[in-house]
Structure 1
Amino acid sequence: MAKAKTQYVCQNCGYISPKYLGRCPNCGKWNTLIEQSVQSSPKTHDNRSSRVNFRGVKTEPELISKVDTHKEPRFKTDSEEFNRVLGGGIVPASLILIGGDPGIGKSTLLMQISGQLSHHHKKVLYVSGEESANQIKMRADRLGVADSSDLYVYPETDMESIRNAIEKLNPDVVVIDSVQTIQEPDIQSSIGSVSQVRGVTSDLMNIAKTNGITVFLVGHVTKGGTLAGPKTLEHMVDTVLYFEGDLHHSYRILRAVKNRFGSTNELGVFEMIESGLHEVKNPSEIFLEERLKNATGSSIVVSMEGTRPILVEIQALITPSIFGNAQRTATGLDRNRVSLIMAVLEKRAGLMLQNQDAYLKAAGGVKLNEPAIDLAMAISIASSYRDVGTSPTECYVGEVGLTGEIRRVTRIEQRVDEAHKLGFKRVLVPKNNLQGWTAPEGINVVGVSTLSEALHLALRKK
């Protein structure tokens, strides 16, 4: 009898080593290599090595001009927020991965989407490896989708059984909750390992692409906030969505970090209520509803999240440093960008910030990472440092250069229109953005060319 071979597989990146290593040479993580047995499988296995659909038809090379595209390029759900994040709807035969913290609402979101699709005559198979059929039914009752005639539930963890159920039922959409609980019987490793996750995802990808079935995968996240399993998991799927939020607050944010069929900057906002997730049509009102009128260190920025303008409050707290090195802390903002803006303020605006601790935050739990937020950050910092409040009916848009200039930004018309809708009376924008368009009546658009000029206008004592 031949001796069983073993190999060591990194649980973070999937690197394979013939011997144990304390540190993975590929990703640099420590103590992530786990021993796994290697068993050779026969080559003749129901055509798994090539793409074959359930009818036994193999894929063949063909002219791109002869390729028959879907008559229905996208199908929509009843949730406008969900459609927006996906780029306008669900693309048939796509593989979509949704990740998020435990208890954030991933299963709730997909159950609601499954119920909506079934009401639009789409046959949906909901596969759960974590719950029984009774538990799934309880959630469906709470969400009001238990009466769906085309929604099937299947509590199973064996990939071969799931494949047979998909072949028999031939659904339009399959939901796998979650991919880390499904086991590929041909792979001799524990459930949730790198080999299992890769094998299951590869099998589901073949099912989706060869049979025109849309597959949703729920993925667990690590303590660092990244999707558990190998990084190749994110490369294999078409779309990666993150469902974010604070468990102590009711608002949730759905964000696309990869999308082959749309923008990766789109953002959807939901509110978790007793009957499920309720989409928020105007998130700007939520982000601004608790703002204090005369507070210092506060400014409003009109940020673009994909095609949607959102008004967000940027808060700053500047205090003298007790220790030798001043602290720089940022929540929802890039810490390096904060340090850069503070350096420009010190050099170009004469603010002595090197001995000041700085704490900055984007209120509402949203993450901002575009150049147009620079001016609002700088005004928040200067407002807190000088202890002078900004006007509650004023907002700021602009990129700050290292020489103190205010540089133009994109989609200035949409930003100003959104500020006008929410009742703002004045907005400071880059001077070069004033050309070629007309501001709506009722809002004063002021162009600024330098950071010093913007600070003078924004922080004048009222």
Structure 2
Amino acid sequence: MFSCVECGMNYAKWTGKCTACNSWNTIHEEKGDASEVSSFFGKQKKNSSKKTSDALKLSEISSIAAGDHNRISSNISELDRVLGGGFVAGSGILISGEPGIGKSTLLLQCAYNTSKAGMKTVYISGEESVGQISMRAKRLGMENFPALVASSGCVEKILKTVSEAGDVKFLIIDSIQTMYLEALESNPGSVAQIRAAAYELLNYCKMQDIVMILVGHITKDGQVAGPKLLEHMVDVMLYFDGENNNYFRILRGIKNRFGATNEIGIFQMVQNGLEPVSNPSEIFLSSSKEDIQGRIAFSTFEGTRPVLLELESLVTPSFIPNPRRTTVGWDNNRLSMILAVLCAKCNMNFSDKDVYLSVLGGLKTQDPSADLAVCLSLKSAISKKPIKAKTIAIGEVSLSGQVRPVFQIELRIKEAIKLGFSEIYIPKGSFKDKKPDGVLIVEIDKIWDF
């Protein structure tokens, strides 16, 4: 049997391209029969004649007590924010990210906090020995670590251990790619092993109301290694983002059955682990009061809160046939669109110039509300005129050159005023409240108006 590692499609023989997801070189052979798995719940036989005839018990939603799914805090504010207020009993959570980004560190801190709060927590590692886990905990300042730890990759042994431990509230598996079932002949990390191991672990934890957190490896394309089915099986999927040479880490909610999916949590890597950043705008904004060419602030909306960032642009003469268009933290195609609009509507010629655009602080954004800030930044860079310090621009720019309003602009403006910005550029007619004293709010209808 051959299966696609991207989507899980089965094939009778090997082929170079998966016809289901159109991926190349993702078809791998699976050894063993997944239909005969000696699981913790009993042996499942392929040709079993036993049939389940018991009817299911149906319940009305209004009759189910809401208290059965109260939130459990991790005592890590940014993690609770991304989860929608905390963990839900019986939920399955998958967290993935680049190697060395801090996944194991965050979960070790989470295990420490939950066990300190009196909830029995089991931390299973298939990658580290118990001694290595202890060494890492002491390095992070966790001297008295009350959580229970073990090193194993066998799912049957893990479930038996958790069952005998009794009253376990949290189970952390690091990582799902190292887990295996003894009944399957394929190696750990194969499609069959990941699918079967995740099913057994999730099924048991849902039956026992245990919060289970799985760590997932990613491929070179940034996707979770293993079948796509794994992402559908879990309740919450989180992605840990950031550069290894950057102090900041961003936890993004990709899927969440119990909360918002567009929420982010920001952490700062310090000596004692990951530290939540409660006000990210203050971290990403420069404290300089100097007027600088091409530098301006803008506001993006991440989840339920506005985050203020700064961007810089640089325009230089080009000596190559195809001038460079380089972006860091922003969409390169959107920069090309903005340059085309400025050329067509404002008579700004960039055809013989290299353009560089960078979002400062290492955060990546796709929010179109940065369009107006990019236009003002490029105008400043090409005209060599600096932008006043404490200036912010918020607005989307269309192909016709119109400045369009953006989502939750009132909250963005209030955040900018709170952080001391004195000059705010916004789309015309988008601010209905009374203009505050000491703050210049400039409304722009077309990009050639500024």
Given residue 153 of structure 1, which amino acid in structure 2 is its aligned partner?
V
Does the CA contact (< 8 Å) of 2:32 and 2:186 recur in 1? no
Given residue 316 of structure 1, which amino acid in structure 2 is its aligned partner?
S
1:187 aligns with 2:184: yes
Q: What is the DSSP-based 3-state SS (H/G/I as helix, E as strand, rest coil) of the residue aligned with 2:386?
A: coil
**Equivalent residue in structure 2 for 1:445, among 434, 438, 441:** 441
Deviates more, 1:358-367 or 1:173-182: 358-367
Given residue 6 of structure 2, which amino acid in structure 1 is its aligned partner?
N
Distance in structure 1 (CA, Å) of the matches to 2:227 and 2:424: 46
**Equivalent residue in structure 2 for 1:162, among 149, 158, 176:** 158
Does the CA contact (< 8 Å) of 2:108 and 2:137 recur in 1? yes
Distance in structure 2 (CA, Å) of the matches to 1:276 and 1:232: 32
1:145-201 Cα offsets, whole Å, 9 max, x none, are 34243x111211000111112222231111110111111223321111111111111
Does the CA contact (< 8 Å) of 1:327 and 1:357 recur in 2? yes
Q: What is the DSSP-based 3-state SS (H/G/I as helix, E as strand, rest coil) of the residue aligned with 2:66?
A: coil
Query: For the structure 1 residues 291 and 206, does the alpha-carbon distance in structure 2 shift closer, same or farther, using more than 3 Å as the test?
Result: farther
Deviates more, 1:183-192 or 1:23-32: 23-32
Aligned counterpart, 1:35: 29
1:17 aligns with 2:14: no
Aligned counterpart, 2:388: 391
Number of equivalent positions:
440
Does the CA contact (< 8 Å) of 1:416 and 1:439 recur in 2? no
Counterpart mapping for 1:189-228 below 5 A: 189-228=186-225
Shift of 1:40: 6.7
**Equivalent residue in structure 1 for 2:75, among 46, 70, 78:** 78
Aligned counterpart, 2:251: 254
Does the CA contact (< 8 Å) of 2:37 and 2:183 recur in 1? no
Does the CA contact (< 8 Å) of 2:30 and 2:190 recur in 1? no
Deviates more, 1:107-116 or 1:251-260: 251-260
Distance in structure 2 (CA, Å) of the matches to 1:370 and 1:360: 15
Given residue 29 of structure 2, which amino acid in structure 1 is its aligned partner?
E
Aligned counterpart, 1:66: 63
1:17-51 Cα offsets, whole Å, 9 max, x none, are 111212222333333322223437459963577xx
Given residue 98 of structure 2, which amino acid in structure 1 is its aligned partner?
D
Query: For the structure 1 residues 280 and 40, does the alpha-carbon distance in structure 2 shift closer, same or farther, using more than 3 Å as the test?
Result: closer
Aligned counterpart, 2:397: 400
Shift of 1:269: 1.4
Query: For the structure 1 residues 354 and 85, does the alpha-carbon distance in structure 2 shift closer, same or farther, using more than 3 Å as the test?
Result: same
Given residue 160 of structure 2, which amino acid in structure 1 is its aligned partner?
N
Does the CA contact (< 8 Å) of 1:417 and 1:440 recur in 2? no
Aligned counterpart, 2:292: 295
Shift of 1:346: 1.3
Distance in structure 1 (CA, Å) of the matches to 2:177 and 2:435: 52
Aligned counterpart, 1:115: 112
1:307 aligns with 2:307: no
Q: What is the DSSP-based 3-state SS (H/G/I as helix, E as strand, rest coil) of the residue aligned with 1:432?
A: coil
Distance in structure 1 (CA, Å) of the matches to 2:77 and 2:341: 41
**Equivalent residue in structure 2 for 1:321, among 318, 337, 340:** 318
1:56-93 Cα offsets, whole Å, 9 max, x none, are x9974333333333345211122211111111211221
1:250-285 Cα offsets, whole Å, 9 max, x none, are 221111122222222222111111111111222222
Given residue 409 of structure 1, which amino acid in structure 2 is its aligned partner?
V
Deviates more, 1:188-197 or 1:290-299: 290-299
**Equivalent residue in structure 2 for 1:153, among 149, 156, 165:** 149
Distance in structure 2 (CA, Å) of the matches to 1:27 and 1:269: 33
Q: What is the DSSP-based 3-state SS (H/G/I as helix, E as strand, rest coil) of the residue aligned with 1:375?
A: helix
Does the CA contact (< 8 Å) of 2:38 and 2:183 recur in 1? no
Counterpart mapping for 1:336-375 below 5 A: 336-375=333-372
Unaligned runs of 5+ in 2: 45-53
Given residue 271 of structure 1, which amino acid in structure 2 is its aligned partner?
Q
Distance in structure 1 (CA, Å) of the matches to 2:77 and 2:228: 30
**Equivalent residue in structure 2 for 1:279, among 276, 284, 290:** 276
Aligned counterpart, 1:106: 103
Counterpart mapping for 1:77-96 below 5 A: 77-96=74-93
Distance in structure 2 (CA, Å) of the matches to 1:238 and 1:132: 29
1:274-300 Cα offsets, whole Å, 9 max, x none, are 111111222222212376833322211
Distance in structure 2 (CA, Å) of the matches to 1:205 and 1:214: 9
Does the CA contact (< 8 Å) of 2:88 and 2:211 recur in 1? yes
1:330-377 Cα offsets, whole Å, 9 max, x none, are 222122222221221111111112343322221111111122111112
Query: For the structure 1 residues 138 and 44, does the alpha-carbon distance in structure 2 shift closer, same or farther, using more than 3 Å as the test?
Result: closer
Query: For the structure 1 residues 397 and 40, does the alpha-carbon distance in structure 2 shift closer, same or farther, using more than 3 Å as the test?
Result: closer
Query: For the structure 1 residues 239 and 58, does the alpha-carbon distance in structure 2 shift closer, same or farther, using more than 3 Å as the test?
Result: farther
Does the CA contact (< 8 Å) of 2:266 and 2:276 recur in 1? yes
Aligned counterpart, 2:229: 232
Does the CA contact (< 8 Å) of 1:300 and 1:396 recur in 2? yes
1:365-410 Cα offsets, whole Å, 9 max, x none, are 1111122111112222222222222111110101112211111112
Query: For the structure 1 residues 176 and 400, does the alpha-carbon distance in structure 2 shift closer, same or farther, using more than 3 Å as the test?
Result: same
Does the CA contact (< 8 Å) of 1:406 and 1:448 recur in 2? yes
Does the CA contact (< 8 Å) of 2:91 and 2:206 recur in 1? yes
Query: For the structure 1 residues 43 and 321, does the alpha-carbon distance in structure 2 shift closer, same or farther, using more than 3 Å as the test?
Result: closer
Query: For the structure 1 residues 61 and 279, does the alpha-carbon distance in structure 2 shift closer, same or farther, using more than 3 Å as the test?
Result: same
